[in-house]
């Protein structure tokens, strides 16, 4: 029997050897395939159950953090957003079943402590209970952001403030917003229905309208048309435009009119200050499709904004070929009507480029990332995105825009506190066709102080029902911009 | 004549004590780590836990020291280590089940000691072979009795008596091993020799073979009837291995495999659930939303564990259905990784080694066969379920000995362990490694006999 027992031992050993081989195949050989399987939620869960660092404003206010869940919870940590609605479009949300958005998404690795640098530091502190999570410091200033919300109130629209020298976004507000704390519930179905609801309600609160939507810019676009013509040399400060109430472009019998058919004309400063339409229609036509579309491209129109938050919209103007056959649309595009659509953040950058010698900076909202001990991991280095115009043209535009505040369409409403001189351009984008009730987007873009520019701003009130005139944009959006800029300039 | 040297046996007991304490410390350490991983707290009752754990382990060790001083030194420590790691995993999966498993562990260790206490001479058990056969038959039929048996998870293998639910099949395997060992040790050579010519083959007298084949067919039919494929496979293997070892004739092995292949073929074509098992074994992914889910989750768990595991309490084994039970190996593979899973495999290899060494050391055919059978039960049962979980063989629901949650399984396996230790001790006694003193019962009977002589009639 002994020989059989020995053979049995060998046979059983062989069976266990097979188990060991198969175990290696699964746990080592096929590991990456298994981990990558879409049906495998383990990594998501583990990541979700890890602690996660904070998101703060530039002035140190914590706007997202992880706190311990109540004992019986399914997940050990709960994400808490202080003043969630105010920062929702910056922080985004971090949910188990519906993923993450905004900074929570783009800076996920840093927050979760999974960048290579944090991992190495984590190894070193393995035995003293080191926490590898990282902190994301945003460029948002809590005071400016709060001022933006306060000034806009419960009107649909966006307020964006950028640092003209760096492109750092100091305020990124649009109404309506939402409270991300609603989505961190442990009840995934409830979170799903809330997301569904937020998707369905008017105003798209889940969308950061400030940079994920585009709107007809109205007369604020005249800054771009003017910059293009100044660069091309087709106009200058000495240019004089005919006094007229309307102008007939080629290829049509339908004339282009000034607001309320007012007679409007004079030198460049005058027509810019009063925001006449016909001079810019003529300027656009004189430049022609090639030059104006090329200038629009120099401003970054047609490209998604190189923002560090996800899914930026792209501003649109139109192609040269298209305009060759549709010159009237080129003419009205010259003052921001027709097919022209601009992202509010982009308009703030347009104003900032005027203030920054024509250099348009790359916008960013992540200032720096830090490890758990506060040591710097990475800092965003400001960089130029576009040289939108020559420095000479920017100097002239600064004068033109300063005049708008002094004596023009923004004089009512953009006089800053303490006598700080500002520069601006207003816009009233007419949305209604002839005979329909009047509806417009009210815009203002500007910057201050004029002599040493710090901040640029864009304010857009969406689809207002006010009576349309060349002053509408300034009258509605101007006070919002002033209130925000007054706060910004104290920072 | 030199004084007998008992130092080998004494050394075995010292080694056993050291290993048992090590197993206890590993268990308590793992328990602490699992709690730290899961809730980031050191378990509040860790010291009482360690105290009770060590007390129970020392109790088992002292029982072996007193009752089976010459036994193998590795069997008990490996069993308690497997039991401890299983307990940690169960506690990590469910607090409630942990409490029940604690109770069952106490009962199982008590059973272990009781078996050591009552079975003083293993060879005596051979006498009761037909009692064991009857017991096996009753235990196997019990779940079929209306009002007593009930189904759970598709298999009708449970019995409910009063407040207690148990799986009689776990004890039936022990009874069957005892029966086979008894029967084959008496008639193995008769069966092996063969007296009749049948073509080129010499076959034994049907009279000798019939009860054995009957016993086997009975158990297999009952198991198939109860849809418990895992146990059926285990009984079948047990039977074939024991007949082969007893008769030393490879023909029986071949016949066994042929029968097995036929049974597989028939079962595959007769039963839908067998077809499903084979289908999900070959490809659990296409049935992910149905029967393949459990295996797919086990694959995910093992994959996410990788080489070194997620760490105790840090994985997500609750996603695997029945992780506490049939799939506990996948949960261990997830949190302890390839290293931990391999440790479990090695533990069973050590059990197999110690069990078969016991079988080799003893001279008595009954003890040889019994030790072989009991070792086969533990080794093959673990192979069937681990192989099922990691897709080496089709999955058949069965517990992982000492590790899985479940009272019947734990008690039955500790009884098996006690018999192996008793057998091991018996050979040590015969080899002179420990004094061959009369057992308690023998002393008592001798005293009665003496008293009887002294009393004038």
Quickly list DSSP for A64-84.
Answer: EEEEEPPTT-SSSEEEE-TTH
Query: What number is the average pLDDT over the span A176-198?
Result: 89
Q: Which residue did the predictor score with more confidence, A280 or B190?
A: A280
Query: What number is the average pLDDT over the span B150-162?
Result: 70
Query: What number is the average pLDDT over the span A148-175?
Result: 95
* Residue A125 pLDDT greater than 70, yes or no: no
Q: Which residue did the predictor score with more confidence, A177 or B199?
A: A177
Contact status, residue B426 vs residue B367, Cβ threshold 8 Å: yes
Mean pLDDT of chain B: 85
Residues of B in contact with A41 (CB under 8 A): 319
Structure tokens at A289: 């499709």
- Closest-CA distance of chain B to residue A23, Å: 7
pTM above 0.80, yes or no: no
Query: What number is the average pLDDT over the span A51-80?
Result: 87
Within the 414-453 window of chain B, which residues sit less than 8 Å (CB to CB) from chain A? none
Q: Comparing A58-67, A413-422, B445-454, which segment has the lowest mean pLDDT? A: B445-454
Q: Which residue did the predictor score with more confidence, A469 or A159?
A: A159
The most confident of A423-427, B89-93, B255-259, by mean pLDDT: A423-427
Residue A78 has phi, psi (to 5 degrees) of: -130, 135
Q: Which residue did the predictor score with more confidence, A358 or A32?
A: A358
* Residue A129 pLDDT greater than 60, yes or no: no
Give which of B304, B393, B420 to mutate to test A binding, by max A Cβ within 10 Å: B304
Q: Express each pLDDT in A255-299 by its tens digit.
A: 888 887 888 888 999 999 999 899 999 999 999 999 999 999 999
Give which of A14, A17, A18, A26 to mutate to test B binding, by max B Cβ within 10 Å: A26
| pLDDT value of position B235 | 84
Q: Express each pLDDT in B314-353 by its tens digit.
A: 888 888 888 888 899 999 999 999 999 999 999 999 999 9
Question: Is the minimum CB–CB distance between B386 and chain A shorter than 8 Å?
Answer: yes
| pLDDT value of position B455 | 67
Contact A39 B288 (CB under 8 A): yes
| pLDDT value of position A123 | 63
- Local confidence band at B420 (pLDDT 50, 70, 90 cut-offs): very high
Mention every residue, 6+ apart, whose C-beta is less than 8 A from residue B335: B34, B37, B89, B92, B305, B309, B310, B311, B312, B313, B314, B315, B317
| pLDDT value of position B386 | 94
Question: Is the minimum CB–CB distance between A24 and chain B shorter than 8 Å?
Answer: yes
Within the 342-381 window of chain B, which residues sit less than 8 Å (CB to CB) from chain A? 342, 345, 348-349, 352-353, 356, 359-360, 365, 368-369, 372, 376, 379-380
- Cβ-based neighbour number of residue B368 at 10 Å: 27
| pLDDT value of position B1 | 44
Q: Which residue did the predictor score with more confidence, B58 or A76?
A: B58
Structure tokens at A132: 């590898």
Q: Name beta bridge partners: A440.
A: A430, A464
Contact A9 B376 (CB under 8 A): no
Helix-then-strand count for chain A, H and E: 18, 17
Q: Express each pLDDT in B35-91 by its tens digit.
A: 887 776 777 788 888 888 999 999 999 999 888 888 999 999 999 999 999 999 998
d(CA A220, CA A424): 9
| Torsion B86-B91-B96-B100 (CA) sign | positive
User: Residue A2 is nearest to which of B315, B345, B360, comparing CB atoms?
Assistant: B360
| pLDDT value of position B351 | 95
Buried b (16+ CB within 10 A) or exposed e, B25-43: ebbbebbbbbbbbbeeeeb
| pLDDT value of position A382 | 95
Q: What is the CATH number of domain A212-365+383-488?
A: 3.40.710.10
Each domain of chain A, given as residue ranges in start order, spans: 212-365+383-488
DSSP characters for B378-435?
HHHHHHHHHHHHTTSS-------TTTSS-HHHHHHHHHHHHHHHHHHHHHHHHTTSS-
User: To 10 degrees, the CA torsion angle through A247, A250, A253, A257?
Assistant: -20
Distance of CA B93 to the CA centre of its chain: 23
Q: Express each pLDDT in A105-120 by its tens digit.
A: 889 888 888 777 777 7
Contact A40 B300 (CB under 8 A): yes
* Chain B residue at shortest CA distance from A7: B245
Mean pLDDT of chain A: 90
Question: Is the minimum CB–CB distance between A45 and chain B shorter than 8 Å?
Answer: yes
* Residue B163 pLDDT greater than 80, yes or no: no
Contact B383 A19 (CB under 8 A): yes
Q: Among all residues of A, which ones are annotated catalytic?
A: 219
Residues of A in contact with B372 (CB under 8 A): 1, 5, 8
Q: Express each pLDDT in B362-391 by its tens digit.
A: 988 899 999 999 999 999 999 999 999 999
Mention every residue, 6+ apart, whose C-beta is less than 8 A from residue B297: B319, B320, B321, B330
| pLDDT value of position A227 | 94
- The β-bridge relationship of strands B155-161 and B164-166 is antiparallel
Within the 74-133 window of chain A, which residues sit less than 8 Å (CB to CB) from chain B? 76
Q: Comparing A187-191, A233-237, B78-82, which segment has the lowest mean pLDDT? A: A187-191
What are the distances in angstroms from CA A165 to CA A333, A352, A361, B143? 29, 8, 7, 82
3-state secondary structure of A292: helix
Contact status, residue B402 vs residue B379, Cβ threshold 8 Å: no
Q: Which residue did the predictor score with more confidence, A14 or B46?
A: A14
| pLDDT value of position A380 | 94
Q: Which residue did the predictor score with more confidence, B179 or B1?
A: B179
Percent of chain A's residues with pLDDT above 70 = 97
Size of interface A-B (CB pairs under 8 A): 121
């Amino acid at each position: 029997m002994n020989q059989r027992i020995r053979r049995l031992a060998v046979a059983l050993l062989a069976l266990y050897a097979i188990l060991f081989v198969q175990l290696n195949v699964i746990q080592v050989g096929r590991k990456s395939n298994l981990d990558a399987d879409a049906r495998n939620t383990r990594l998501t869960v583990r990541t979700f159950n890890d602690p996660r660092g904070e998101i703060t404003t530039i002035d140190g206010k914590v706007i997202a953090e992880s706190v311990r869940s109540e004992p019986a919870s399914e997940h050990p940590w709960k994400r808490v957003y202080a003043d969630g609605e105010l920062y929702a479009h910056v922080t985004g949300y971090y949910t188990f079943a519906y993923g993450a958005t905004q900074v929570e998404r783009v800076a996920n690795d840093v927050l979760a402590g999974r960048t290579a640098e944090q991992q190495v530091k984590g190894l070193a502190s393995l035995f003293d209970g080191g926490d590898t999570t990282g902190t994301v410091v945003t460029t948002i200033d809590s005071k400016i952001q709060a001022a933006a919300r306060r000034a806009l109130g419960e009107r649909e629209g966006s307020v964006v403030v950028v640092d003209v020298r760096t492109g750092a976004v100091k305020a990124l507000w649009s109404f309506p917003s939402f409270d991300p704390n609603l989505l961190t519930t442990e009840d995934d179905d409830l979170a799903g229905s809330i997301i569904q609801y937020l998707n369905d309600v008017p105003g798209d609160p889940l969308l950061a309208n400030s940079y994920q939507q585009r709107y007809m810019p109205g007369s604020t676009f005249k800054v771009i048309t003017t910059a293009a013509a100044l660069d091309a040399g087709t106009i200058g400060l000495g240019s004089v435009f005919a006094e007229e109430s309307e102008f007939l472009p080629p290829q049509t019998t339908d004339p282009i009119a000034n607001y309320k058919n007012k007679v409007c004309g004079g030198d460049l400063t005058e027509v810019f200050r009063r925001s006449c339409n016909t001079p810019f229609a003529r300027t656009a036509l004189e430049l022609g499709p090639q030059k104006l579309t090329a200038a629009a491209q120099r401003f970054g129109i047609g490209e998604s904004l190189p923002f560090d938050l996800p899914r930026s919209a792209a501003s649109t103007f139109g192609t040269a070929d298209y305009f060759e056959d549709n010159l009237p649309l080129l003419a009205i595009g010259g003052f921001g009507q027709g097919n022209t659509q601009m992202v509010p953040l982009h308009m703030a950058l347009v104003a900032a480029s005027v203030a920054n010698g024509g250099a348009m900076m790359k916008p960013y909202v992540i200032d720096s990332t830090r490890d758990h001990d506060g040591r710097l991991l990475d800092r965003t280095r400001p960089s130029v995105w576009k040289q939108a115009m020559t420095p000479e043209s920017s100097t002239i535009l600064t004068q033109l825009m300063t005049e708008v505040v002094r004596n023009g369409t923004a004089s009512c409403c953009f006089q800053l506190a303490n006598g700080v001189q500002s520069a601006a351009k207003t816009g009233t984008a007419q949305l209604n066709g002839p005979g329909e009730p009047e509806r417009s987007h009210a815009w203002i873009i500007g910057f201050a102080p004029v002599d040493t520019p710090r901040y640029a701003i864009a304010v857009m009130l969406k689809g207002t029902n006010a009576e349309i005139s060349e002053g509408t944009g300034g009258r509605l959006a101007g006070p919002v911009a002033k209130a925000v800029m007054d706060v910004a300039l104290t920072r | 004549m030199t004084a007998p040297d008992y130092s080998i046996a004494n050394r075995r007991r010292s080694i056993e004590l050291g290993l048992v304490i090590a197993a206890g410390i590993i268990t308590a350490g793992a328990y602490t780590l699992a709690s730290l991983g899961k809730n980031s707290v050191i378990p509040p009752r860790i010291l009482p836990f360690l105290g009770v754990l060590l007390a129970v382990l020392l109790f088992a060790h002292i029982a072996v020291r007193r009752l089976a001083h010459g036994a193998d030194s590795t069997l008990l420590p490996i069993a308690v280590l497997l039991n401890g790691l299983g307990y940690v995993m169960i506690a990590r999966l469910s607090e409630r089940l942990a409490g029940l498993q604690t109770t069952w562990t106490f009962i199982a260790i008590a059973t272990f000691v009781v078996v050591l206490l009552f079975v003083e001479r293993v060879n005596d058990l051979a006498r009761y072979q037909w009692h064991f056969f009857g017991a096996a038959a009753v235990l196997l039929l019990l779940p079929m009795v209306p009002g007593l048996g009930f189904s759970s998870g598709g298999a009708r293998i449970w019995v409910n008596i009063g407040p207690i639910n148990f799986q009689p099949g776990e004890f039936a395997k022990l009874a069957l091993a005892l029966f086979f060992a008894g029967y084959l040790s008496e008639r193995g050579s008769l069966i092996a020799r063969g007296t009749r010519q049948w073509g080129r083959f010499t076959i034994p007298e049907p009279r000798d073979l019939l009860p054995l084949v009957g016993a086997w067919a009975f158990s297999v039919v009952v198991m198939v009837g109860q849809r418990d494929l895992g146990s059926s496979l285990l009984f079948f293997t047990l039977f074939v291995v024991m007949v082969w070892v007893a008769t030393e004739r490879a023909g029986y092995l071949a016949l066994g495999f042929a029968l097995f292949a036929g049974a597989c073929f028939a079962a595959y074509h007769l039963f839908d659930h067998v077809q499903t098992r084979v289908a999900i074994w070959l490809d659990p992914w296409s049935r992910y939303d149905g029967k393949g889910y459990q295996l797919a989750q086990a694959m995910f768990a093992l994959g996410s564990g990788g080489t070194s595991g997620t760490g105790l309490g840090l994985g997500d084994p609750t996603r695997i259905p029945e992780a506490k039970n049939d799939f506990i190996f996948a949960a261990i593979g997830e949190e302890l990784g390839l290293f931990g899973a391999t440790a479990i495999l090695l533990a069973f290899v050590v059990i197999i080694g110690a069990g078969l060494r016991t079988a080799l050391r003893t001279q008595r055919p009954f003890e040889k066969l019994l030790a072989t059978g009991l070792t086969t039960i533990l080794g093959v049962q673990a192979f069937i379920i681990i192989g099922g979980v990691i897709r080496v063989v089709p999955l058949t629901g069965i517990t992982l000995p000492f590790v899985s949650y479940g009272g019947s399984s734990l008690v039955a396996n500790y009884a098996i362990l006690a018999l192996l230790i008793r057998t091991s001790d018996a050979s040590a006694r015969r080899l002179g490694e420990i004094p061959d003193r009369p057992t308690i019962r023998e002393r008592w009977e001798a005293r009665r006999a003496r008293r009887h002589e002294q009393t004038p009639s």
